[in-house]
Structures are given as structure tokens and as C-alpha cells.
Amino acid sequence: MGVGTFIFVSVIKIVVAVVILLTAVAYTVWLERKVVGHIQNRWGPTRVGPFGLLQPLADGIKFIFKEDLTPPHVYKSLYIAAPMIALTCALTSISVIPVGNWVTVSGISTPLQITDLNIGLLLILGVTSLGVYGVALAGWSSNSKYSLLGGLRASAQMVSYEIALGLSLVGVLILAGSFSLHEIVEAQAGTFWGFIPRWNMFQGQFVAFFIYLMAAYAETNRVPFDLPEAETELVAGYHTEYSAMKFAMFFMAEYANMITVACLATILFLGGWKGLPYGPAWLQDLPVFWFVLKVFCFLFLYIWVRGTLPRFRYDQLMAFGWKFLLPLAIANLVITALVVALKG
Amino acid sequence: MLHLILFLLFGLVCVAGAVNLLVQRHPISSALSLVVVMGALAAEYLLLGAEFVAAVQVIVYAGAVMVLFVFVIMLLNAGEEERTQGSRVAMLIGIPGMLVGSLLVAWVLIQHSGTRSAAVGELPGPPKTLGWLLFHDYLLPFEVTSILVLVAIMGAVVLAARPESAQRTGRES
């Protein structure tokens, strides 16, 4: 492939990925309002378009035309930079997520991801760990007590749960022997006894999957770990002082992070784009369908949990992370390593 | 060629961040400059073909250590640095002194290491090679370091734990 073709293909992939991600962000918000509405025996959005489907569009227009208020007491440069950092870090991770295998269009063969890095997983971990700055700086630069408390809670929580999250992934890495997300999915091909798919979740990483799930909820600041923006005590936490598009950027960052986490769970534990091993052949080979289906299930689970569970208390949150998840993750890592070593 | 330009560019960013760290008066600005330095260093590692080290640099230093720095500064609500007569004297002596020192170091390095520059990919970069080196060739230094870290952790726990008498009565000492 020549340099020109390479750049052309890359630009197309980047544009498509970003547009799909932003649309997915908008419609995850819609889905959340709808599902939580039905859980609480309400209708959710119904007025704008059929089933309220145009609601995200209306919300977007509203955010753009709202007054962009900058309170007089903030540290201005950091106050403006914080939402940008949060959104940039949230959108960057999508660049290494593979949604399917290689495809060939008119003689040009390319993987269905923006780029296949050999340290793809580490890139995602690095970028999400930088995303903490957006939240922490927003809390600090707003110069308000609610924001500061929210920012402090968020950074402490994200740093603590990052450790359990990272350790839960190491088992998968040992099984796959690579950091490349593409190769991790490829390592999950095939079945056990012809009917259980060889996904990492069924390869003994069952515990790791649940550690990842819980740590991921904490990393994205979602219920039941949404203490950084606990509205009953902190107004809105770190984004209390933000309005209009700056607030929308935090909002989009949160949902983009949710989608990234769901994609990662799909790739690492549920076999990525690999379908179920039964059913008609054309169904098994649908390229992006299985990936989207699995990600959708995760997002639905996210919303379901939000509609069901109450919030943790802060000391419970820290105790749970450090005293339960972390030792469990280490135990899982040791056992996985032992099993792999004994198998040779 | 592009490699060299990028390398110099990130080197420049790195030095600029380091200088900004010293110039800034507010601790948060200084800490964020240090984050920039760490990020630029990671980019340099990446350009040298050490992708794993680059990723770890970002995750550990920029993503964890510096977040804790920022966290502590936020928690203590540290104010702006004050400039006194002493700091002016330090600046007058310190800047020339630092320039002379760094020139000396650079001179010694160029004189004694041979001026050959390392090619991309010459040093171990992939995680597999690195892991082999770390857990095979350099196992003893690795284990010694881990004991050192363990000692540091235990020291931190001892220092941070409340004295027993305060725990019994349930009051802060």
C-alpha cells in the first residue's frame, strides 16, 4: 500500500470512527433516559421525534446556544483546558479499538480499526490515566468547595481502581501473549467441546471479568461509584461551575469513556467480533454485528445498574477497592500464571 | 530525517517544560509542567523504538505519580510561591552554575562515550525482550529493587498509621 493510499484510508477510518462514536455517545444518553424512565415507570423523552429519537439533536442545539458562563473566581486557563483534556482523552482511546477483522475493499486490505498498535492495550490504559487530569483540574480550577471535593474524590477513586483494573487485565495478557487488541481477539477463536466459545471469560478469566466490570464502573464515575458527582451532597461535583458546551464536553467524555470501557470488555473477555459458534454461517460471519451487539449489552447493563443500585459511602468505596478487589485481582493473576506455567 | 526532527522537537518540548516548571510560581502549574516533561520523554522513548517503556512512562509517571502530586497540592491548597531576597540571590548564582554544570556533563559524556548515536530499534524495545532481560539477565537487581520498594511501603504505612494509644481511645493524637 502506497503512502497516499495509506493516508487516504486512515483519514476515512478516523472520520467514520469519530462520527460513529459521537453518534453512539448521543444515543447512549437517549437510551439511558429511556431505560431509566421505564425502570422508574415513566416514559422518558417522547416529544421530539418518534420515541423521542431526535432528543439528542435537540439537546445538542440547546447546549450550543446556552450562555457560556465563566464564573469570575476561577483559574481561567485551567478552567478552560480541563473539559478539553477530559474529552480528548476520552475520544483518543477509540483509535486502537478493533471492531472487526481485516476487510478488503477494491484491492485495499485494512483492519477495521484506526491503527493496530502492538501496545494497543497500554495506550488505552495510558490515555485513560491521563483523563484523570481533566476531572481533577476541573475540580481545582473552579475554585469552589463542591467542585474541589468532587475533583478530589474523582482522582482518588480513579487512581485506586486503576490498579485493580490493570491487574485484572494481566491474566488476559498472559493467555494471549500480546498487547495488541487484534491479536488478543484472535487468541479467543475456536470453541471448547464444540459449543462453548473460547472467549477469555470462559477460559478461566471469569473472576477477572467481574473485577474489570466493577473497576470500570468506578473508573467512569458511574453509579454505584458516582461519588464525584453525588448530587445530594456535592451539587454536581467537579462540573458544578461549568455551563453550556464546556459542561457538554464533560458529559460527552463520560459517555465516550463508557463506550470505550464496554468495547474493551468485549475485546478482552467476550471474544471481540467473534460470533457464537452455532447458527447459520452467514450469521456467524457478520463482520461488525457481534461486536456492536456485545457492546450494546454492556451499555444496557450500565444503565440497568444505574437504575437499580444506590450509591456507595466513600469509606466503603475505598475499602472495597483496596481490601477486596485488589487482593482478588492479585490472586487471580497468580493462579492464572501458575496454570499457564504448568500447562507449559 | 523526520525521525530526527521529531526527536529534536520533543526534546525541545521536554526542556521547555522543565524550564517552565522552575519559572512558574504556582505549584499546580509546576506540577503540570512536569507532566508535559514526562509526556515528551515518553514520546522520545517511542521514537527510539522502546514502545513499552514509553507506555509505562505515561501510565506510571504521567498517569499515577503526577496525579498524586496534583492531588496533594489540591488537598493542601498550596498557595503561590513567594519571592524573597534569598530567592533572587539563588537565581543569580544558580542559573550560571547550572549552565556550567550541564555543559560539563555534556562535555564529559561526549568525550568518553564515543559520539556514535544509537540507531532506532538497536536497544531492546518489545515487551517480550524487556521481560526476558528483566526476569532472567537482571533478576537479582530486580528482586533487590522490589525489596527496596517493599521497605519503602512498610515505612510509609508505619509513618501513616495512628499510634496505638490513639487507636484505643479512638481519638486523634
d(CA A13, CA A112): 8
Record: contact A133-B71, CB cut-off 8 A = no
Nearest Cβ partner for A126 among B63, B74, B127: B63
Question: Which residues, at least 6 apart from B136, have a Cβ–Cβ distance to it below 8 Å?
Answer: none
Question: Where exactly are the structural domains of chain B?
Answer: 1-83, 138-173
How many other C-beta atoms can be found within 10 angstroms of the C-beta atom of residue A124? 26
Nearest chain A CA: its distance from B8 CA (Å): 23
With respect to residue A209, please indicate whether it lies within any of the assigned structural domains.
yes
On the CB side of A155, how many CA atoms lie within 13 Å of its CA? Answer: 30
Q: Which domain holds residue A138?
A: 74-343
With respect to residue A47, please indicate whether it lies within any of the assigned structural domains.
no
Contacts of A151 in chain B (CB under 8 A): 74
Nearest chain B CA: its distance from A284 CA (Å): 34
pLDDT of residue B122: 66
**pLDDT exceeding 70 applies to what percent of chain A?**
96
pLDDT of residue B169: 60
> What stretches of chain A adopt beta strand conformation (E)?
100-105, 108-112, 191-192, 196-197
pLDDT at residue A122 is higher than 80 = yes
Contacts of B75 in chain A (CB under 8 A): 152
Residue carrying the nine cell digits 498487547? A179
With CA atoms as reference, report the closest residue to A48 among A38, A62, A28, A65: A62
Give residue B170's pLDDT band: very low, low, confident or very high (50, 70, 90): low
With respect to residue A182, please indicate whether it lies within any of the assigned structural domains.
yes
Record: contact A133-B70, CB cut-off 8 A = yes
State the Cα angle at A317 between A314 and A319, rounded to 5°. Answer: 110
With respect to residue A34, please indicate whether it lies within any of the assigned structural domains.
no
Record: contact B71-A137, CB cut-off 8 A = no
- The string of pLDDT tens digits covering residues A135-175 is 888 888 888 888 888 888 888 888 888 888 888 888 888 88
- The string of pLDDT tens digits covering residues A63-100 is 888 888 888 888 888 888 888 888 898 888 888 888 77
Nearest Cβ partner for A125 among B59, B74, B75: B59
Q: What proportions of chain B, in percent to the nearest 5, are helix, strand and coil?
A: 80, 0, 20
Give residue A203's pLDDT band: very low, low, confident or very high (50, 70, 90): confident
Record: contact A159-B126, CB cut-off 8 A = no
The total of structural domains in chain A comes to 1
Record: contact A132-B56, CB cut-off 8 A = no
- The string of pLDDT tens digits covering residues A250-275 is 888 888 988 988 988 888 888 777 77
Q: Quote the cell numbers at residue A150.
A: 468532587
With respect to residue A60, please indicate whether it lies within any of the assigned structural domains.
no
Q: Count interface pairs A-B at CB distance under 8 A.
A: 67
ipTM for the complex? 0.77
Fold of domain B1-83 = Four Helix Bundle (Hemerythrin (Met), subunit A) (1.20.120)
Record: contact B55-A151, CB cut-off 8 A = no
With respect to residue A223, please indicate whether it lies within any of the assigned structural domains.
yes
| Helix, coil or strand: residue A105 | strand
Ramachandran quadrant class, B33 (left: phi over 0; alpha: psi -120 to 50; beta: rest): alpha
d(CA A92, CA A267): 17
Residue of chain B minimizing CA distance to A128: B63
Q: Quote the cell numbers at residue A186.
A: 484472535
Contacts of A118 in chain B (CB under 8 A): 51, 126
With respect to residue A130, please indicate whether it lies within any of the assigned structural domains.
yes
pLDDT at residue B114 is higher than 70 = no
- Cis amide bond preceding A224, omega within 30: yes
- The string of pLDDT tens digits covering residues A212-244 is 988 888 888 877 887 777 777 777 777 788 887
Record: contact B55-A118, CB cut-off 8 A = no
Nearest Cβ partner for B67 among A78, A148, A155: A155
Burial (CB count <10 Å: 0-12, 13-18, 19+), residue B4: exposed
